[in-house]
Chains A and B, each alone.
Chain A
């Protein structure tokens, strides 16, 4: 049973560019949450998707957007990249049928130069 799969694992982008990160949730999970972890900091909540809609959102600008597909996989898009967007982006999936049970992806490390 595959866990959460994130792609790519590493990415280097130039300031001003746009990036798309992908997450496939654990089989049986219907909810995907995205987090940003800057170096030396704890993960910060970006948003959560359920039933193809953004259900909750953290304090991130509109440059951060997302999408969830009918197969529950999700994308995180960041426009107009800034140097400060360099971070590890984590995806965690969960099921509305099992409260509190999160499965974590290993993350995508984004470097903006």
Chain B
């Protein structure tokens, strides 16, 4: 079982819909990152969370440390939101050969006009 699980793997939405992407993890963490990657592009950091909730424009990220779960919400989705959204957790303990950051496999979002 992967230490970071994202769902869904793929998501297609109509413009204007409310979108939720989920991330569950099984290790102790010091922080969780939500990242965005457009096709062929680099990574853009959206949020870093260690507790509670953060909001930036139409994006909202929440984390429940006790349940080891985080969600990324997009309100009033737009075709320009189409991208891969990646959850990455920063281990609390030494990462060894895996490093300190563990990445989810990503959620590919496609928003249709």
> Which A residues lie at the B interface, using CB under 8 A?
6, 9, 33, 35, 42-43, 45, 48, 56-59, 88, 90, 92, 94, 99-107, 109
The number of residue pairs between A and B whose CB atoms lie closer than 8 Å in the complex comes to 77
Cα A92 to Cα B105 in complex, Å, equals 18
Cα A65 to Cα B51 in complex, Å, equals 36
- CB neighbours of A35 from chain B (8 A): 99, 101
> Which B residues lie at the A interface, using CB under 8 A?
29-31, 33, 35, 40-45, 48, 50, 86, 88, 90, 92, 94-101, 103-106
Cα A57 to Cα B95 in complex, Å, equals 10
Q: Name the contact of A102 in the complex, choosing from B33, B40, B44, B97 (C-beta under 8 A).
A: B33
Give min CB distance, B8 to chain A, whole Å.
16
Cα A70 to Cα B37 in complex, Å, equals 31
